[in-house]
Amino acid sequence: MTEFKEQWNLEMAMEVLTSKNVDGKTWSEAVKWLLLYGPPEVREVIQQASSFAFSEYFPDLEAKGYTSDGNPYYDLQEIAESLGVPPEEVAGRLAEVQFEEGIEVIVEGDRVHKVH
């Protein structure tokens, strides 16, 4: 199985983002690839858009604190309640991303943040 990082490149991911005829799964994979492996300026734009959308759709979900580099962290229970899923599902998905993509996240009690 080809690793996720090698399934995409910048040109492919950007083409998917601008397409009007792409399915949601493919679009989200392109965004995920860009957030993980895209150039810093593209990651920053996507993170800003993500923060805006997050605050629009989950206005009651507030950051519990911030990492030393300014990234927010949230309460797993509150995220699960906002999404209407069990906390174990949220924790499980984080574990999958960590395992599949090699993205190190820290879970400290109810806090989760990415390690750079």
pLDDT band per the 50, 70, 90 thresholds, residue 109: low
pLDDT band per the 50, 70, 90 thresholds, residue 91: confident
How far apart (Å, rounded) are the C-alpha atoms in residues 45 and 42? Answer: 5
pLDDT band per the 50, 70, 90 thresholds, residue 1: very low
Query: What are the structural domain ranges in the chain?
Result: 1-57, 60-116
Cα dihedral 28→32→38→42 (10° resolution): 60
How far apart (Å, rounded) are the C-alpha atoms in residues 98 and 28? Answer: 17
Question: One-letter amino acid identity for 44?
Answer: E
- Predicted model pTM: 0.64
Handedness of CA 84, 86, 90, 92 (dihedral sign): negative
Q: Write out pLDDT tens, residues 46-77.
A: 888 888 888 888 888 888 777 777 777 778 88
How far apart (Å, rounded) are the C-alpha atoms in residues 82 and 61? Answer: 8
